[in-house]
Amino acid sequence: MIKDSKFFRFRPSACTTSFNRTALSTVLICFLVMCVAIYGQADVSTTGYIYSKDITATGHISVKDITTNNIIEPGINDVIVYPHPCTPVFTEPEQQIATENAASYRNSIITAQGEPGEMNAAIEINKKDETKEVKGNKKPKEIKKPQGISKASEISEPCGMRGTDSYLLDYTFNDDINGSAPSGWTINNSGGPVTVEPVPSASEKSMRLYKATPNSGYSAGYKTYTAQTSGIVTYDTWVMTPEISSDKYIMARNYEENKIAATIAFSNGYIKAGSTNVQQFVANQWYHIVADLDISSKTFTLFVDGVNKGVYNFQDSSITNLGEVLFTISPGCSGTFYISDIKISKKTVPNHYSIGLAYFTRWNPVFASMHPTAKIYGRINDWFGGVKDHITQAGPWGNGPIADREPLLGWYNDLEQSTIDQHILQAASRGIDFFMFYYYWKEGGGGEREGQNIYNYLNSNYKNLIKFNLMFCSDSPWPSSDWDNYIIPKIVSFMQDPQYKRTPDGRPILNIFGELLSHFNNSETQVNAALGRLRTAVQNAGLPNPLILSPGIGDEQSWIRQGFDGMAPLNLAGIGLFDNEYVPEDYSVYPGAWVDYVNQHFEDYLFIPGQAVTFDSRGWAGVSSSVQESERYVYTEPNPDKFRVHLNNVKNYLDTHPESMNIAIFYAWNELGEGGTIEPSTLYGYGYLNALQEVFELDNSNYKNRVIADGLVDFDPDMRLEVIPEHPIATVNQVLKVKVKVTNKNAAQINSGNVSININGCEVISSTDTNLSGLAAGARKDIEYNIRVLNGTYWQKQQITVTANYNVSGQQKNASSSSFIVRVPAVNGVIEPVFKPVTAGDSVDLTVRIRNYTLGPRQATYQITVPSGWSIIGPENGTVTLDGYSQGPEWNRAKKAIHRIRIPSNAAEGIYTINLSTDSNGVQTQSFINIRVSNAIYNSSFEQDDDSNGVADIWSVAGDPVLSLSTDRVDGNRSQKIQAMGIIKGIHQEWTQIEPGRNYLAEAWIKVESGALRFCNVEATSDLGWLGENAQVIAYPSGWQKYTLNITPLPNSGNIGIRFDSLVGGSTVAYVDKVVLKPEPSFARAWEFNTAGALEGWAGNQHISNLSANGSYLTGNITGIDPALTSANNLGYDITKNKLIVIRMKNNTSSTWGQIYFTTTTDTVWNEDKHIDFPIIPNDSGYTEYVIDMSQLPSKWTGTLKQLRIDPCTGVTSGSFSIDYVTITKQ
């Protein structure tokens, strides 16, 4: 391999037709192979490259193929020597070719030794047929060559360090009329004509400036282009003058045409940079003039015929932009000046910092699981469920509003090509270098997961604006054989794309999320070998050894032993919160915690920094994460200003850790469910992208040029406005700040202007200076408004609109940007949803959560209302005292209370509503939840299909079956028809929360016409960790039959899914209807006394009078010291499984004890051995639930219950009692 700093470019020409083309092709192939090996890419064409470190000789180049010893003699026009801008980096000593002394390479052979298996080649340089070394893509022009100027193809610099040109102006004069002024140019002919002439030939025209006498006028032409305020602008032209006397000028000026950056003069025999002589020139000879003008350093580098003539200061150091080229013979001068082939370009220099953003692909109907959204929010076909429900609302768990998640593009479908196109343009508008795409593998293996939009990126017309790489998500179950058979080939194919992100020395970058150990027998050695096979495959494809980065969490040494090159954690969620898990804290704790964590864990390893813009998955609770897990780590109120603090820490890390290669990857572009929201949003606009660009000084000139070329809407306007509310949610009368950042992106300073603000539902109290006059080009002004929130409707956006009206360079302009705050009540309460299936007779715990939104402490009361016939066990209301908002942990800003309700045993299957009202100093709110009784399956009879796609709503599709809703049914009007070729294709419904320790029953009616259909359940942990399949039954061809699954959940199970899948390799045609999932009854018997006059078999055998049932309670009076109630005889209930007796009653006596007696079918005598005393509340003011654990009598409470006796009190002779219910239950 050769890595050197000069390159030779071989170009075929007409005069080479007689020599050995085959041999030349052999050498060119060799050179291309070496380019691929060194730089990872090559343009397979008639151009080849070979590098030598210090060669300065120019002349005829001969090539010798050392494999055949044939010397090829290309003609003089076939080889041009260009200075190469790259500084080589040698990673292995043997890769260096000994090319230290340039002189020794004249009349000698340069050998290019390839890798084993590659072809070898040599270059021989002979000092003959001298020609000038040139820079650019033209040969030296001479007036004596009337045939014109040959043009070579664009040069693609292979090292990628300097970049490629994107033309702001490309003018040849060839389309203009001879003798006339050039089209589109501004001409000053006050001293002499400016015309287009056929010089040096009819096919290579030029503009001629001519002054016959040194009069006081001008012969000049100039043309403007889009003003450039940063970067390096290159002026590239060919000029010639027939005389050496007098002065002719090339000028680079600003767009306003009043300041000069650089003057290059042909003056009395000298070419000058400003007033400095750089070399003599000859009359009637064409010279290639190139000037690289650096706007930031206010300097320019001058090249004459490819030779660097030095660096010079700008003539006017106050210049802030470049926007015009001027050619002139000025007053007092005379003569002729020819100008040909003008190219002005913005050099696309790769950013000093390479910033990547994790790109989450899920927001579409194919990838997303929409069943949870339907279950929680009642909407179908909505892949933003939970995210959009918290923008302005409290949400089911009272954690909202979470206002920063709404994309500026709207609620998009990321499988539409326009979505990724817009995302590329948005990111490129701020100089982002690459997207790191989450790349998911199928659960169970066999291929990539459907619904990923990386292919939309690959098909985008704008992909050249931003690179990409993969983050392979290995956290789903797949067989280890997939690694070699499918995963490696896929990864290699992506890496072969020219836009795939690489390190500066060409290594493709692969990130891994999750772990690989579980796929390879938990063996570090096997993972190491698997990564080794990936590396081999990548290199066999002609690419360098990839850089493979681990998630880096946990045992760092283990990752290295597994074969990873370094660490690149996705977000480091939780740092700064470990001491206070489940207590939200302001995002401002993250930057400092990040520094501490990184210093502690990664100082001895290759570490790619970046990590989280924030993390808060509460809005996604129940949809894609468990409620408990979503509340574990929460950073609140992130904003672009707080993010800037973190960005400066990352920048400092990169500046002090060169091994990180100035690469950073941030979480995330659009991980909206968990808070990775760098994507422009309705709350902060481009704020996070602005922060990234400003801190890392990212160049977006490629984007700007594309906007101009394609006539696109510019996402980076001339006036950049950024609006940041201090608190995005606020209560009535709260005073808060709204910060406005105004950046002048125009090429000139603002002559005059002002910023104004309009906020619906708020009043502006005060502001800092809003005058924009004198704001320099590139400068920023920060403005603050103090506002007060007025009375109005809760849970709505209060739109903030900021407008800048200003004058620049005589033009009146305006710009606007928007944000919002959400007006919320002082205190709000919710009852957390209950999603686990319940049955009649169950008792259910309800969690009431009350939250204070004000800055100061607050007290609130609440009241629960249940359906008729339902019971609230314990108090129906409560009072809480809450802390106000403070920077730091939100310890007591929200509080919870648990209330148990009991569902009557005769409750019909259906949906029931429970209401909550909250009051705090007259501020009242209302909320409710719905509880489903009996069947936990949604759309269980397949009647609902709102989008008419043949798939019953809520149900998801597995594989590629043909689905339709058939009138062949058991229940209602429809059943789901499944037609499939192959296995594991059908319909699923996941996930349903379950109660630990409780068994479940699943039922379905199935009809199979051909093949076989599997009816099974799958399970996951409470935080959706995959556990696998459990019970199953297979339906074979038959008419309609009812199939049943008796499910004993797997250990640690917290969720159940129901699946119907084809089971044979051929054709399956089947129908499904009336699907049920419900828990086994939790009780053996319940007596609820809900019917007036019905004692339900109970009798007052002694010391009880007036026993009656009033439709709600069983009541009686105490008349003696040992009152007793007895049930009907021969109850016949299994008490081995049902260990609890639950009694809810009100004791209107002074007694402190009650008693239970019982008989069984094997022990029919009432005695003290079969009795339990239980404490009761004397003179109780309400109803209390008493739970008596009969397992205290393990040898007695077993078998079959015959009869039950309850003594509602003991030791008193008067008073009364009232019983709400009695149950014999498992729990």
Class of domain 956-1079: mainly beta
Question: 158 in helix, strand or coil?
Answer: coil
Determine the average pLDDT of the residues in 1067-1073. Answer: 96
Q: How much is the pLDDT for 18?
A: 30
Query: 1012-1049: per-residue pLDDT in tens?
Result: 999 999 999 987 888 999 999 999 999 999 999 999 99
Q: How much is the pLDDT for 888?
A: 59
pLDDT for 112 beyond 70: no
What percent of the chain clears pLDDT 70, i.e. is strictly above it?
A: 86
Look at the block and give the residue holding tokens 């699923």. Answer: 988
pLDDT confidence tier of residue 1079, bands split at 50, 70 and 90: confident
More confident residue, 1091 or 418: 418
Residue type present at position 517: L
- Positive or negative, the CA dihedral 255, 260, 265, 271 is negative
What percent of the chain clears pLDDT 90, i.e. is strictly above it?
A: 69
Q: How much is the pLDDT for 164?
A: 42
Lowest mean pLDDT, pick from 133-147, 570-584, 902-916: 133-147
* Domain-wise residue ranges, the chain: 6-125, 165-347, 400-680+688-693, 719-823, 834-928, 956-1079, 1083-1225
Q: Which two tokens stand for residue 739?
A: 């910060």
C-beta separation of 1080 from 1003 below 8 A: no
pLDDT for 36 beyond 70: no
Q: Average pLDDT of the chain?
A: 85
What 873-881 contacts at long range (C-beta under 8 Å, 24+ apart), as own/partner pairs, is 873/843, 873/899, 873/900, 873/901, 873/902, 873/1144, 873/1183, 873/1185, 874/899, 874/900, 874/1184, 874/1185, 875/899, 875/1182, 878/848, 880/850, 881/857
CA–CA separation, 933 and 155 (whole Å): 72
Secondary structure letter of residue 43 according to DSSP: -
Q: How much is the pLDDT for 1227?
A: 67
Q: Which two tokens stand for residue 492?
A: 């290699």
pLDDT for 137 beyond 60: no
The answer for residues whose C-beta is within 8 angstroms of residue 455's C-beta and 6 or more apart is none
Query: 690-742: per-residue pLDDT in tens?
Result: 999 999 999 999 999 999 999 999 999 999 999 999 999 999 999 999 999 99
More confident residue, 295 or 62: 295
Q: Which two tokens stand for residue 197?
A: 């002439």
pLDDT for 1011 beyond 70: yes
Q: Which residues pair with 967 in a beta bridge?
A: none
Lowest mean pLDDT, pick from 116-120, 363-367, 729-733, 880-884: 116-120
Q: How much is the pLDDT for 886?
A: 65
Question: 997 in helix, strand or coil?
Answer: coil
Q: How much is the pLDDT for 348?
A: 55
The backbone region for 460, taken as left when phi is positive above 0, alpha when psi lies in -120 to 50, beta otherwise, is: beta
What number does CATH give the domain 165-347? 2.60.120.200
Q: How much is the pLDDT for 55?
A: 31
pLDDT for 416 beyond 80: yes
Alpha-carbon dihedral 50, 56, 62, 64, rounded to 10 degrees:
-50
Helix 640-656 vs helix 589-601: crossing angle, to nearest 10: 20
C-beta separation of 281 from 140 below 8 A: no
Determine the average pLDDT of the residues in 787-793. Answer: 97
Lowest mean pLDDT, pick from 440-444, 575-579, 932-936: 932-936
Class of domain 400-680+688-693: alpha beta
Q: Do domains 165-347 and 719-823 have the same CATH topology?
A: no
Residue type present at position 486: Y
Q: What's the predicted TM-score (pTM) here?
A: 0.67
* Among 597, 587, 555, 569, residue whose Cα is nearest residue 664: 569
Q: How much is the pLDDT for 508?
A: 97
Residue type present at position 454: I
CA–CA separation, 896 and 972 (whole Å): 42
pLDDT for 347 beyond 80: no
- Positive or negative, the CA dihedral 56, 60, 61, 62 is negative
The answer for residues whose C-beta is within 8 angstroms of residue 489's C-beta and 6 or more apart is 537
Lowest mean pLDDT, pick from 164-173, 566-575, 681-690: 164-173
Q: Cα 99 to chain center, whole Å?
A: 48
| H or E segment and range at residue 601 | helix 589-601
Determine the average pLDDT of the residues in 304-316. Answer: 88
Question: 63 in helix, strand or coil?
Answer: strand
Q: Which two tokens stand for residue 1016?
A: 């099974």
CA–CA separation, 505 and 659 (whole Å): 12
- Positive or negative, the CA dihedral 258, 260, 264, 265 is positive
What number does CATH give the domain 834-928? 2.60.40.10
- Whether residue 479 has a cis bond before it, omega within 30° of 0: no
CA–CA separation, 402 and 672 (whole Å): 11
pLDDT for 564 beyond 90: yes
pLDDT for 25 beyond 50: no
pLDDT for 86 beyond 60: no
Q: How much is the pLDDT for 17?
A: 29
pLDDT for 636 beyond 70: yes
pLDDT for 764 beyond 80: yes
Helix and strand counts by DSSP (H, E) for the chain: 13, 70
| H or E segment and range at residue 643 | helix 640-656
Q: How much is the pLDDT for 1090?
A: 84
Query: How many CA atoms are closer than 13 Å to the CA of 413, on its beta-carbon side?
Result: 9
Distances (CA, A) of 789 to 129, 337, 491, 801, 948: 83, 69, 53, 15, 45
Fold of 719-823: Immunoglobulin-like (2.60.40)
Q: How far apart, in Å, do the first and last CA atoms of the chain sit?
A: 75
Q: How much is the pLDDT for 76?
A: 32
Look at the block and give the residue holding tokens 């109660």. Answer: 995
Q: How much is the pLDDT for 98?
A: 29
Secondary structure letter of residue 955 according to DSSP: -
More confident residue, 128 or 249: 249
CA–CA separation, 668 and 612 (whole Å): 7
Q: How much is the pLDDT for 630?
A: 92
Q: How much is the pLDDT for 991?
A: 85
CA–CA separation, 159 and 83 (whole Å): 13
* Among 926, 922, 918, residue whose Cα is nearest residue 791: 922
Q: Which two tokens stand for residue 139?
A: 């040969």
pLDDT for 673 beyond 50: yes
pLDDT confidence tier of residue 92, bands split at 50, 70 and 90: very low
pLDDT for 107 beyond 70: no
C-beta separation of 655 from 602 below 8 A: no
* Among 700, 707, 589, 698, residue whose Cα is nearest residue 649: 589
Query: 147-181: per-residue pLDDT in tens?
Result: 332 222 222 232 223 334 568 999 999 999 999 99
pLDDT for 430 beyond 80: yes
How many CB atoms are located within 10 Å of the residue 698 CB? 19
Q: How much is the pLDDT for 75?
A: 34
What number does CATH give the domain 1083-1225? 2.60.120.260
